[in-house]
Structure 1
Amino acid sequence: MRTISAVVENYIKKKPFLQSALAQGIINLTSLSRQVKPEVEEELGKEVRNGAIVMALKRLSDDLEFRATHRILKVLKNIGEITVRSSLTDFTFLVSDSILENQSRLLEEVNRNKDVFYTSSRGVNELNIVVSNTLESTVEEFFRNERCTQKASNLSSITVKLPAENVSVPGIYYFIFQRLAWEGIVLYEVISTTNEFTILVNDEQVESAFKTIKDLKSL
Protein backbone atom coordinates (compact mmCIF):
# COMPACT_ATOMS: atom_id res chain seq x y z
CA MET A 1 0.00 0.00 0.00
CA ARG A 2 1.41 3.38 -1.01
CA THR A 3 1.82 6.03 1.64
CA ILE A 4 1.41 9.80 1.49
CA SER A 5 5.16 10.22 2.00
CA ALA A 6 5.99 7.90 -0.91
CA VAL A 7 3.60 9.66 -3.29
CA VAL A 8 4.85 13.11 -2.27
CA GLU A 9 8.48 12.05 -2.68
CA ASN A 10 7.78 10.67 -6.17
CA TYR A 11 6.04 13.94 -7.11
CA ILE A 12 9.02 16.05 -6.01
CA LYS A 13 11.59 13.82 -7.70
CA LYS A 14 9.85 14.34 -11.04
CA LYS A 15 10.50 18.10 -10.71
CA PRO A 16 14.26 18.69 -10.27
CA PHE A 17 14.01 22.49 -9.90
CA LEU A 18 11.38 22.06 -7.20
CA GLN A 19 13.52 19.48 -5.43
CA SER A 20 16.46 21.87 -5.31
CA ALA A 21 14.33 24.75 -4.00
CA LEU A 22 12.83 22.48 -1.34
CA ALA A 23 16.29 21.41 -0.22
CA GLN A 24 17.27 25.07 0.20
CA GLY A 25 14.18 25.82 2.29
CA ILE A 26 12.93 28.60 0.02
CA ILE A 27 9.45 27.16 -0.59
CA ASN A 28 6.32 27.72 1.49
CA LEU A 29 5.35 24.15 2.37
CA THR A 30 1.70 24.99 2.98
CA SER A 31 1.33 26.53 -0.47
CA LEU A 32 3.21 23.64 -2.06
CA SER A 33 0.99 21.11 -0.27
CA ARG A 34 -2.09 22.63 -1.91
CA GLN A 35 -0.44 22.24 -5.31
CA VAL A 36 0.57 18.64 -4.63
CA LYS A 37 -2.74 17.59 -3.06
CA PRO A 38 -4.76 16.76 -6.24
CA GLU A 39 -2.09 14.38 -7.55
CA VAL A 40 -1.61 12.74 -4.14
CA GLU A 41 -5.35 12.18 -3.75
CA GLU A 42 -5.62 10.78 -7.27
CA GLU A 43 -2.70 8.43 -6.65
CA LEU A 44 -4.07 7.18 -3.31
CA GLY A 45 -7.72 7.23 -4.31
CA LYS A 46 -8.85 9.08 -1.19
CA GLU A 47 -8.95 12.51 0.41
CA VAL A 48 -5.77 13.69 2.11
CA ARG A 49 -5.35 16.51 4.63
CA ASN A 50 -3.01 19.37 3.74
CA GLY A 51 -1.31 18.95 7.10
CA ALA A 52 -0.30 15.40 6.26
CA ILE A 53 1.26 16.54 2.99
CA VAL A 54 3.08 19.38 4.75
CA MET A 55 4.60 16.87 7.20
CA ALA A 56 5.68 14.63 4.33
CA LEU A 57 7.33 17.59 2.58
CA LYS A 58 9.12 18.61 5.78
CA ARG A 59 10.49 15.11 6.32
CA LEU A 60 11.57 14.99 2.71
CA SER A 61 13.43 18.30 2.90
CA ASP A 62 15.33 17.01 5.93
CA ASP A 63 16.20 13.71 4.27
CA LEU A 64 19.84 12.83 3.60
CA GLU A 65 19.22 12.78 -0.14
CA PHE A 66 18.15 16.40 -0.06
CA ARG A 67 20.86 17.44 2.35
CA ALA A 68 23.32 16.37 -0.35
CA THR A 69 22.65 19.81 -1.83
CA HIS A 70 24.65 21.31 1.01
CA ARG A 71 27.63 19.13 0.04
CA ILE A 72 27.32 20.54 -3.46
CA LEU A 73 27.31 24.10 -2.15
CA LYS A 74 30.50 23.44 -0.16
CA VAL A 75 32.23 22.35 -3.37
CA LEU A 76 30.91 25.32 -5.33
CA LYS A 77 32.21 27.77 -2.72
CA ASN A 78 35.70 26.52 -3.63
CA ILE A 79 35.35 27.06 -7.37
CA GLY A 80 38.71 28.19 -8.70
CA GLU A 81 39.70 30.29 -11.67
CA ILE A 82 37.00 31.27 -14.14
CA THR A 83 38.42 32.12 -17.57
CA VAL A 84 36.49 33.82 -20.36
CA ARG A 85 37.51 33.84 -24.02
CA SER A 86 35.65 35.57 -26.83
CA SER A 87 35.77 35.62 -30.64
CA LEU A 88 35.51 31.86 -31.07
CA THR A 89 34.26 29.64 -33.88
CA ASP A 90 32.82 26.16 -33.39
CA PHE A 91 33.07 23.46 -36.07
CA THR A 92 31.43 20.03 -36.11
CA PHE A 93 32.74 17.40 -38.53
CA LEU A 94 31.67 13.84 -39.18
CA VAL A 95 34.34 11.35 -38.14
CA SER A 96 36.28 9.91 -41.07
CA ASP A 97 39.46 7.90 -41.70
CA SER A 98 41.39 11.06 -42.50
CA ILE A 99 40.12 13.40 -39.82
CA LEU A 100 42.81 12.64 -37.22
CA GLU A 101 45.53 13.41 -39.74
CA ASN A 102 43.94 16.77 -40.46
CA GLN A 103 43.56 17.44 -36.77
CA SER A 104 47.29 16.77 -36.29
CA ARG A 105 48.07 19.41 -38.92
CA LEU A 106 45.85 21.86 -37.06
CA LEU A 107 47.58 21.10 -33.74
CA GLU A 108 50.94 21.91 -35.33
CA GLU A 109 49.54 25.28 -36.36
CA VAL A 110 48.15 25.87 -32.86
CA ASN A 111 51.54 25.07 -31.32
CA ARG A 112 53.13 27.75 -33.46
CA ASN A 113 50.75 30.35 -32.06
CA LYS A 114 50.36 30.03 -28.29
CA ASP A 115 47.91 32.94 -28.04
CA VAL A 116 45.06 31.24 -29.86
CA PHE A 117 42.30 29.23 -28.24
CA TYR A 118 41.82 25.59 -29.19
CA THR A 119 39.82 22.75 -27.74
CA SER A 120 38.37 19.62 -29.23
CA SER A 121 36.19 16.66 -28.30
CA ARG A 122 35.30 13.53 -30.19
CA GLY A 123 32.17 11.44 -29.99
CA VAL A 124 31.25 8.24 -31.79
CA ASN A 125 30.23 9.96 -35.01
CA GLU A 126 31.31 13.60 -34.67
CA LEU A 127 34.43 15.64 -33.99
CA ASN A 128 34.00 19.06 -32.46
CA ILE A 129 36.66 21.77 -32.78
CA VAL A 130 36.54 25.20 -31.14
CA VAL A 131 39.16 27.76 -32.18
CA SER A 132 39.85 31.47 -32.11
CA ASN A 133 38.35 33.29 -35.08
CA THR A 134 41.86 33.90 -36.38
CA LEU A 135 42.16 30.16 -37.08
CA GLU A 136 38.81 29.89 -38.83
CA SER A 137 40.24 29.95 -42.35
CA THR A 138 42.99 27.49 -41.34
CA VAL A 139 40.44 24.97 -40.11
CA GLU A 140 38.43 25.37 -43.30
CA GLU A 141 41.54 24.78 -45.38
CA PHE A 142 42.82 21.74 -43.47
CA PHE A 143 39.37 20.14 -43.25
CA ARG A 144 38.10 21.11 -46.69
CA ASN A 145 37.65 17.45 -47.67
CA GLU A 146 35.79 16.59 -44.46
CA ARG A 147 32.06 16.88 -44.04
CA CYS A 148 31.22 19.89 -41.83
CA THR A 149 27.73 19.50 -40.37
CA GLN A 150 27.70 22.70 -38.36
CA LYS A 151 29.64 25.92 -37.94
CA ALA A 152 28.93 28.81 -35.59
CA SER A 153 30.81 32.05 -34.97
CA ASN A 154 30.47 34.90 -32.46
CA LEU A 155 30.80 32.53 -29.52
CA SER A 156 32.48 32.89 -26.14
CA SER A 157 33.79 30.25 -23.76
CA ILE A 158 33.78 30.14 -19.98
CA THR A 159 36.21 27.67 -18.40
CA VAL A 160 35.67 26.83 -14.74
CA LYS A 161 38.23 25.09 -12.51
CA LEU A 162 36.54 22.86 -9.92
CA PRO A 163 38.05 21.61 -6.65
CA ALA A 164 39.32 18.01 -6.73
CA GLU A 165 36.45 16.76 -4.53
CA ASN A 166 33.97 17.45 -7.35
CA VAL A 167 34.43 13.85 -8.51
CA SER A 168 33.13 12.45 -5.20
CA VAL A 169 30.00 14.63 -4.83
CA PRO A 170 27.06 13.73 -7.09
CA GLY A 171 25.05 16.49 -8.72
CA ILE A 172 27.74 19.17 -9.21
CA TYR A 173 27.17 19.61 -12.94
CA TYR A 174 23.42 19.25 -12.59
CA PHE A 175 23.35 22.07 -10.03
CA ILE A 176 25.49 24.39 -12.17
CA PHE A 177 23.58 23.74 -15.39
CA GLN A 178 20.29 24.09 -13.53
CA ARG A 179 21.25 27.63 -12.50
CA LEU A 180 22.25 28.48 -16.05
CA ALA A 181 18.92 27.12 -17.30
CA TRP A 182 17.05 29.25 -14.76
CA GLU A 183 18.72 32.31 -16.28
CA GLY A 184 17.70 31.26 -19.80
CA ILE A 185 21.28 30.70 -20.93
CA VAL A 186 21.66 28.44 -23.96
CA LEU A 187 24.72 26.18 -23.85
CA TYR A 188 26.10 25.72 -27.34
CA GLU A 189 28.75 23.20 -26.26
CA VAL A 190 29.99 21.62 -23.03
CA ILE A 191 33.52 20.22 -22.85
CA SER A 192 34.92 18.81 -19.62
CA THR A 193 37.98 17.21 -18.06
CA THR A 194 38.33 15.78 -14.55
CA ASN A 195 38.56 19.06 -12.67
CA GLU A 196 37.36 21.70 -15.09
CA PHE A 197 34.70 22.26 -17.69
CA THR A 198 34.16 24.70 -20.53
CA ILE A 199 30.84 25.96 -21.82
CA LEU A 200 30.28 27.74 -25.10
CA VAL A 201 27.60 30.42 -25.31
CA ASN A 202 26.63 33.17 -27.71
CA ASP A 203 28.53 36.42 -27.18
CA GLU A 204 25.41 38.26 -25.98
CA GLN A 205 24.91 35.77 -23.12
CA VAL A 206 28.46 35.48 -21.87
CA GLU A 207 28.17 38.21 -19.22
CA SER A 208 25.02 36.68 -17.76
CA ALA A 209 26.57 33.18 -17.81
CA PHE A 210 29.76 34.43 -16.12
CA LYS A 211 27.81 36.19 -13.37
CA THR A 212 25.63 33.12 -12.78
CA ILE A 213 28.65 30.88 -12.30
CA LYS A 214 30.56 33.41 -10.21
CA ASP A 215 27.53 33.88 -7.93
CA LEU A 216 27.57 30.14 -7.12
CA LYS A 217 30.57 30.82 -4.88
CA SER A 218 28.44 32.98 -2.59
CA LEU A 219 25.38 30.72 -2.24
Structure 2
Amino acid sequence: MIKISEHVSQIILRSPFLIEALAEGLVNVSSLARKIHPEVEQAVGKTINYGAIIQAINRMDTGKLMNLDRNMRQFFNQMTDISVRSGLLDYTFLNSETLLSKQVDLLKAISKQAKVFYSFSQGVSETTIVISENMGIELEEIFQLEKMLVKEKDLSSISLMLPAGNQFVYGLYYYILKELALNGINLVEMISTSNEYTIVVGNKDLDKAFSLLMSLKHR
Protein backbone atom coordinates (compact mmCIF):
# COMPACT_ATOMS: atom_id res chain seq x y z
CA MET A 1 0.00 0.00 0.00
CA ILE A 2 1.33 3.44 -0.92
CA LYS A 3 1.85 5.69 2.07
CA ILE A 4 0.08 9.03 2.54
CA SER A 5 3.42 10.83 2.13
CA GLU A 6 3.96 9.22 -1.27
CA HIS A 7 0.51 10.30 -2.50
CA VAL A 8 1.15 13.84 -1.27
CA SER A 9 4.51 13.94 -3.04
CA GLN A 10 2.98 12.68 -6.30
CA ILE A 11 0.31 15.39 -6.21
CA ILE A 12 2.74 18.20 -5.47
CA LEU A 13 5.40 17.07 -7.93
CA ARG A 14 2.83 17.31 -10.75
CA SER A 15 2.86 21.08 -10.51
CA PRO A 16 5.91 23.32 -11.03
CA PHE A 17 3.89 26.11 -9.39
CA LEU A 18 3.68 24.22 -6.09
CA ILE A 19 7.21 22.89 -6.35
CA GLU A 20 8.72 26.34 -6.68
CA ALA A 21 6.46 27.95 -4.09
CA LEU A 22 7.16 25.23 -1.50
CA ALA A 23 10.90 25.37 -2.12
CA GLU A 24 10.84 29.12 -1.48
CA GLY A 25 8.56 28.87 1.58
CA LEU A 26 5.73 30.83 -0.05
CA VAL A 27 2.92 28.32 0.56
CA ASN A 28 0.49 28.19 3.47
CA VAL A 29 0.87 24.49 4.25
CA SER A 30 -2.46 24.22 6.09
CA SER A 31 -4.34 25.69 3.11
CA LEU A 32 -2.51 23.37 0.71
CA ALA A 33 -3.38 20.37 2.90
CA ARG A 34 -7.07 21.29 2.79
CA LYS A 35 -6.92 21.70 -0.98
CA ILE A 36 -5.40 18.29 -1.72
CA HIS A 37 -7.19 16.48 1.15
CA PRO A 38 -10.03 15.02 -1.02
CA GLU A 39 -7.61 13.72 -3.63
CA VAL A 40 -5.34 12.13 -1.03
CA GLU A 41 -8.30 10.47 0.69
CA GLN A 42 -9.53 9.08 -2.62
CA ALA A 43 -6.08 7.73 -3.45
CA VAL A 44 -5.55 6.15 -0.03
CA GLY A 45 -9.11 4.80 0.12
CA LYS A 46 -9.84 5.81 3.67
CA THR A 47 -10.56 8.82 5.86
CA ILE A 48 -7.47 10.74 6.96
CA ASN A 49 -7.05 13.97 8.91
CA TYR A 50 -5.42 17.19 7.79
CA GLY A 51 -2.58 16.75 10.27
CA ALA A 52 -1.24 13.71 8.43
CA ILE A 53 -1.15 15.64 5.15
CA ILE A 54 0.48 18.68 6.76
CA GLN A 55 3.11 16.41 8.26
CA ALA A 56 3.74 14.77 4.89
CA ILE A 57 4.17 18.17 3.19
CA ASN A 58 6.55 19.42 5.88
CA ARG A 59 8.66 16.27 5.54
CA MET A 60 9.08 16.59 1.79
CA ASP A 61 12.68 16.80 0.65
CA THR A 62 13.20 20.45 -0.32
CA GLY A 63 16.51 19.46 -1.83
CA LYS A 64 14.59 17.38 -4.38
CA LEU A 65 12.37 20.37 -5.12
CA MET A 66 15.35 22.65 -5.64
CA ASN A 67 16.99 20.01 -7.82
CA LEU A 68 14.06 20.19 -10.25
CA ASP A 69 14.54 23.94 -10.49
CA ARG A 70 18.27 23.45 -11.00
CA ASN A 71 17.63 20.99 -13.82
CA MET A 72 15.40 23.55 -15.52
CA ARG A 73 18.13 26.18 -15.33
CA GLN A 74 20.64 23.74 -16.80
CA PHE A 75 18.20 23.07 -19.63
CA PHE A 76 17.96 26.75 -20.50
CA ASN A 77 21.76 26.97 -20.50
CA GLN A 78 21.69 24.61 -23.48
CA MET A 79 19.61 26.93 -25.68
CA THR A 80 21.48 27.38 -28.92
CA ASP A 81 20.14 30.72 -30.13
CA ILE A 82 17.73 33.58 -29.49
CA SER A 83 16.66 35.64 -32.50
CA VAL A 84 14.59 38.80 -32.87
CA ARG A 85 12.38 40.04 -35.72
CA SER A 86 10.86 43.51 -35.67
CA GLY A 87 8.29 45.22 -37.86
CA LEU A 88 5.45 42.72 -37.51
CA LEU A 89 1.67 42.92 -37.87
CA ASP A 90 -0.93 40.68 -36.24
CA TYR A 91 -4.29 39.96 -37.91
CA THR A 92 -7.19 37.84 -36.71
CA PHE A 93 -9.96 36.84 -39.13
CA LEU A 94 -13.23 35.00 -38.65
CA ASN A 95 -13.01 31.56 -40.21
CA SER A 96 -14.94 31.16 -43.46
CA GLU A 97 -15.23 28.78 -46.41
CA THR A 98 -12.96 31.05 -48.46
CA LEU A 99 -10.33 31.86 -45.85
CA LEU A 100 -8.08 28.92 -46.70
CA SER A 101 -7.96 29.80 -50.39
CA LYS A 102 -7.01 33.37 -49.44
CA GLN A 103 -4.11 31.99 -47.43
CA VAL A 104 -2.93 30.13 -50.52
CA ASP A 105 -2.96 33.42 -52.43
CA LEU A 106 -1.01 35.05 -49.61
CA LEU A 107 1.62 32.30 -49.65
CA LYS A 108 2.09 32.81 -53.38
CA ALA A 109 2.68 36.53 -52.75
CA ILE A 110 5.11 35.77 -49.91
CA SER A 111 7.11 33.40 -52.12
CA LYS A 112 8.05 36.36 -54.31
CA GLN A 113 9.57 38.24 -51.36
CA ALA A 114 12.75 37.65 -49.38
CA LYS A 115 12.95 37.06 -45.63
CA VAL A 116 9.28 37.56 -44.82
CA PHE A 117 8.13 36.53 -41.34
CA TYR A 118 4.88 34.60 -41.60
CA SER A 119 2.95 32.46 -39.14
CA PHE A 120 -0.68 31.46 -38.89
CA SER A 121 -2.73 29.68 -36.24
CA GLN A 122 -6.18 28.35 -37.05
CA GLY A 123 -8.64 27.88 -34.24
CA VAL A 124 -12.22 26.61 -34.21
CA SER A 125 -13.77 29.94 -35.16
CA GLU A 126 -10.93 32.28 -36.08
CA THR A 127 -7.47 32.40 -37.63
CA THR A 128 -4.53 34.58 -36.63
CA ILE A 129 -1.75 35.63 -39.00
CA VAL A 130 1.50 37.27 -37.92
CA ILE A 131 3.41 38.76 -40.84
CA SER A 132 6.07 41.31 -41.76
CA GLU A 133 4.86 44.88 -42.16
CA ASN A 134 5.95 45.05 -45.79
CA MET A 135 3.26 42.46 -46.62
CA GLY A 136 0.47 44.27 -44.77
CA ILE A 137 -1.08 46.11 -47.72
CA GLU A 138 -1.01 43.04 -49.92
CA LEU A 139 -2.51 40.86 -47.19
CA GLU A 140 -5.36 43.31 -46.64
CA GLU A 141 -6.09 43.37 -50.36
CA ILE A 142 -6.20 39.57 -50.52
CA PHE A 143 -8.38 39.30 -47.40
CA GLN A 144 -10.56 42.35 -48.08
CA LEU A 145 -13.78 40.29 -48.28
CA GLU A 146 -13.01 38.40 -45.05
CA LYS A 147 -14.18 39.61 -41.64
CA MET A 148 -11.20 41.08 -39.77
CA LEU A 149 -11.62 40.83 -36.00
CA VAL A 150 -8.34 42.30 -34.77
CA LYS A 151 -5.32 44.11 -36.22
CA GLU A 152 -2.29 44.97 -34.11
CA LYS A 153 0.86 46.75 -35.25
CA ASP A 154 4.23 47.84 -33.85
CA LEU A 155 5.13 44.28 -32.88
CA SER A 156 8.30 42.21 -32.64
CA SER A 157 9.05 38.53 -32.13
CA ILE A 158 11.64 36.73 -30.00
CA SER A 159 12.38 33.12 -30.95
CA LEU A 160 14.08 30.63 -28.63
CA MET A 161 15.84 27.65 -30.25
CA LEU A 162 15.25 24.95 -27.64
CA PRO A 163 17.41 21.86 -27.10
CA ALA A 164 16.13 18.56 -28.45
CA GLY A 165 13.89 16.74 -26.01
CA ASN A 166 12.18 19.88 -24.74
CA GLN A 167 8.80 18.23 -25.37
CA PHE A 168 9.46 16.02 -22.36
CA VAL A 169 10.44 18.81 -19.95
CA TYR A 170 7.37 19.68 -17.90
CA GLY A 171 7.09 23.24 -16.61
CA LEU A 172 9.23 24.60 -19.46
CA TYR A 173 6.79 27.23 -20.70
CA TYR A 174 5.79 28.05 -17.13
CA TYR A 175 9.32 29.26 -16.39
CA ILE A 176 9.32 31.47 -19.47
CA LEU A 177 5.85 32.90 -18.94
CA LYS A 178 6.47 33.46 -15.23
CA GLU A 179 9.47 35.70 -15.93
CA LEU A 180 7.46 37.76 -18.41
CA ALA A 181 4.36 38.01 -16.22
CA LEU A 182 6.27 39.04 -13.11
CA ASN A 183 7.84 41.88 -15.10
CA GLY A 184 4.57 43.15 -16.56
CA ILE A 185 5.24 42.11 -20.17
CA ASN A 186 2.12 41.40 -22.20
CA LEU A 187 2.23 38.64 -24.83
CA VAL A 188 0.39 39.34 -28.06
CA GLU A 189 0.95 35.85 -29.49
CA MET A 190 2.82 32.61 -28.78
CA ILE A 191 4.02 30.36 -31.61
CA SER A 192 5.50 26.91 -31.02
CA THR A 193 7.10 24.16 -33.09
CA SER A 194 8.98 21.07 -31.89
CA ASN A 195 12.23 22.85 -31.04
CA GLU A 196 11.36 26.52 -31.42
CA TYR A 197 9.28 28.78 -29.18
CA THR A 198 8.37 32.29 -30.33
CA ILE A 199 6.66 35.09 -28.45
CA VAL A 200 5.27 38.23 -30.07
CA VAL A 201 5.32 41.41 -27.99
CA GLY A 202 4.79 45.11 -28.51
CA ASN A 203 7.87 47.06 -29.58
CA LYS A 204 7.81 48.93 -26.26
CA ASP A 205 8.39 45.65 -24.41
CA LEU A 206 10.98 44.18 -26.77
CA ASP A 207 14.20 45.21 -25.01
CA LYS A 208 12.95 44.17 -21.59
CA ALA A 209 11.57 40.84 -22.82
CA PHE A 210 14.78 40.03 -24.69
CA SER A 211 16.91 40.77 -21.61
CA LEU A 212 14.73 38.54 -19.43
CA LEU A 213 14.90 35.64 -21.86
CA MET A 214 18.65 36.02 -22.22
CA SER A 215 18.90 35.88 -18.43
CA LEU A 216 17.28 32.43 -18.49
CA LYS A 217 20.13 31.21 -20.69
CA HIS A 218 22.93 32.72 -18.62
CA ARG A 219 21.45 32.50 -15.13
Is TM-score (shorter-chain normalized) higher than 0.5? Answer: yes
User: Residues 164-208 of structure 1: CA distance to partner in whole angstroms, max 9, x if unpaired?
Assistant: 121222111121111111111111100110000111111111111
C-alpha spacing 1:96/1:37, structure 2 compared with 1 (3 Å): closer
What is the match of residue 201 of structure 1? 201
Give the distance between the partners of 1:179 and 1:16, measured in 2 at CA. Answer: 14
Higher alpha-carbon deviation: 111-120 or 37-46: 37-46
Three-state SS of the structure 2 residue aligned to 1:154 is strand
Contact 1:8 1:36 in 2 (8 A): no
Post-superposition offset of 1:15? 8.8
Q: CA RMSD in A?
A: 3.2
> Which residue identity is paired with 1:209?
A
* Distance (whole Å) between structure 1 residues aligned to residue 32 and residue 115 of structure 2: 57
Contact persistence 1:90–1:131 (CA under 8 A): yes
Aligned to 2:62: 61
Counterpart for residue 143 of structure 1: 143
1:89 aligns with 2:121: no
C-alpha displacement of 1:144 = 0.6
Give TM-score, length-normalised by structure 1. 0.78
- Structure 2 residue 69 is matched with structure 1 residue 74: no
After TM superposition, give the deviation of residue 147 of structure 1 in Å: 1.0
Kindly state the Cα deviation for residue 67 of structure 1 after the two structures are TM-superposed. Answer: 3.6
Counterparts of 1:1-219 in structure 2, within 5 Å, are 17=17, 19-23=19-23, 27=24, 29=25, 35-36=28-29, 56-57=57-58, 59-63=60-64, 67-219=67-219
Aligned residues: 205
Cα separation, partners in 2 of 1:144 and 1:7, compared to 1, 3 Å = same
- Matched-pair contact (CA < 8 Å) for 1:8–1:40: no
* Alignment deviations for residues 44-96 of structure 1 (CA, whole Å, 9 cap, x no partner): 98899xxx86x844625234x66433332222111121111111110011111
Question: C-alpha distance in 2, partners of 1:22/1:37?
Answer: 12
Following superposition, the deviation at residue 39 of structure 1 comes to: 7.0
Amino acid at match of 1:108: K
Unaligned runs of 5+ in 1: none
3-state secondary structure, aligned to 1:62: helix
- In the alignment, the residues of structure 2 paired with residue 112 and residue 155 of structure 1 have an alpha-carbon distance, to the nearest angstrom, of 23
Look up the SS of the partner of 1:97 in the other structure: coil
